[in-house]
Amino acid sequence: MALMEVRDLVKEFDGQTVLSNIHLDLHDGDVRVLMGASGSGKSTLLRCLNRLVEPTSGSILFRGKEVLGPSVDVRELRKQIGFVFQQFALYSHLNVLENVTLGLRKLHGMTPAEAKEKALLELSNFDMTMHQQKYPSQLSGGQKQRVAIARALAMDPAVLVLDEPTSALDPVMSRDVADLINRLHEDGITMICVTHDLHLARNIADKVMFLDQGVIRADDRIEVLSQHSDPQIQAFFQKEQV
Ligand code: ADP
Ligand code: MG
């Protein structure tokens, strides 16, 4: 059974169609990359997956169960789908350790001691143990993103969703976070990642979905996409050579 199956997903904002008939299958261990110009609907699609955005119509199955029904436990769903955003979205009034323990206590119901143990384990995986008492304002962008990824993974989600995780970083930090995402890929973490980084996409993606104004233009292996006849997709790959 697929982990997630998206069928005929449509999203309209104020009568304007932002996503048209999106289909997406994701299996355990898959890594799917989403690409497309700014405004093509990538973030909206990701946000529909855990109902940060309510789709207009269509179906999303998570392990065979519809997640768009009124009686669905959205908190439970969000435990299963970890999110990492471009702008880190750390709580500025909480230190690193507290940022990671919060969800473990509130959503997983861990005691403070259990949450701390789990958080420290996750932070050590990302070389952030020595920064545990720092506040987000005292961290570099790359360090903030490490904490955001550690926080998401501490929840043991079934799938990690990353929305342009390297876009807000300078080239060096961007490479560092991309290497880290590559490591997650080697560890077999199931991921959906929006990125403009073709190098990262080549390393991690089983398949790349290409969105254009809310429509899937292509959904295939990157070797196939790089030979694609669609001029828009070609342009995307030509940019890489510059
Ligand atoms: P991308 O992530 O590919 O840049 P988005 O999913 O953010 O694209 O946006 C797709 C389109 O949906 C854009 O035209 C954007 O203006 C519109 N949009 C996104 N969120 C909202 C919202 N909350 N209300 C109205 N329009 C929105
Ligand atoms: Mg976006």
Q: What would the pLDDT profile of 172-203 be if each residue is shown by its tens digit?
A: 999 999 999 999 999 999 999 999 999 999 99
Q: Quick check: CB of 118 below 6 Å from ligand 1?
A: no
Q: How far separated are the first and last CA of the chain, in Å rounded?
A: 42
Contact 80, 118 (CB under 8 A): no
ipTM value of the model? 0.98
pLDDT for the residue numbered 240: 60
State which of 11, 13, 17 you would mutate to test the pocket of ligand 1, scoring each by most atoms of that ligand within 8 A of its C-beta. 13
pLDDT at 4 over 50: yes
Q: Tokens 């299996």 correspond to what residue? A: 27
Which residue type does 95 have?
N
The pTM for the full model equals 0.94
**92/136 Cα distance (integer angstroms):** 6
pLDDT band at 213 (very low <50, low <70, confident <90, very high): very high
Residue 239 tokens, joined: 């940019």
Question: How many angstroms separate the alpha carbon of residue 151 from the centre of ligand 2?
Answer: 21
**183/58 Cα distance (integer angstroms):** 34
pLDDT band at 242 (very low <50, low <70, confident <90, very high): very low
pLDDT for the residue numbered 214: 97
Q: What would the pLDDT profile of 37-96 be if each residue is shown by its tens digit?
A: 999 999 999 999 999 999 999 999 999 999 998 889 999 999 999 999 888 789 999 999
| Residue having the nearest C-alpha atom to atom 16 of ligand 1 | 39
What is the atom index within ligand 1 of the atom nearest the CA of 194?
A: 2
Q: Quick check: CB of 44 below 6 Å from ligand 1?
A: yes
User: 34: domain CATH number?
Assistant: 3.40.50.300
pLDDT for the residue numbered 226: 85
Question: How many angstroms separate the alpha carbon of residue 110 from the centre of ligand 2?
Answer: 33
Question: How many angstroms separate the alpha carbon of residue 144 from the centre of ligand 1?
Answer: 25
208: part of which helix (H) or strand (E)? strand 207-212
| Dihedral sign of CA atoms 119, 122, 123, 129 in order | positive
- What are the C-alpha distances in Å from 149 to residues 63, 104, 140, 162, 232? 23, 14, 14, 9, 32
Q: What would the pLDDT profile of 150-167 be if each residue is shown by its tens digit?
A: 999 999 999 999 999 999
| Residue having the nearest C-alpha atom to atom 27 of ligand 1 | 13
Question: In which domain, by residue range, is 202 found?
Answer: 4-240
* Ion ligand 2: residues, CB < 5 A: 42-43
> In the chain, how many domains are there?
1
What is the atom index within ligand 1 of the atom nearest the CA of 44?
A: 6
Percent of the chain beyond pLDDT 90?
85
